Amino acid sequence: MAKTITVRVDDTVYEILKKAADGDKRTISNFMEYAAMNYILTDSIADDNEMAEILYNERDLKKGLSDIEKGRYKIVG
């Protein structure tokens, strides 16, 4: 079942949303739903390659912290 969300925006934002929705031949409501889902799926979720890099960096950082705790470092400067 569809849910209703009330959003308050200023006139400038409303006009931008309206023009973008009109350009896609969508209602403002449908455009906002599309834009939100598009953002969530493309910008806020790490793909497999990004996740592998994150996990690699996490292991690398943990090793670096371990080296510091064991005194295996040198300050250069």
Tell me: the pLDDT tens digits for 22-59?
999 999 999 999 999 998 888 777 788 988 998 999 99
Please give the CATH architecture assigned to the domain spanning 1-45: Orthogonal Bundle (1.10)
The reply to whether the predicted model has a pTM over 0.85 is no
- In order, the DSSP letters of 43-73 are HSS--HHHHHHHHHHHHHHHHHHHHHHTT--
Pair of tokens at residue 51: 């996740």
Handedness of CA 1, 31, 36, 17 (dihedral sign): negative
Q: Are 33 and 27 in contact (CB under 8 A)?
A: no
Q: Are 77 and 69 in contact (CB under 8 A)?
A: no
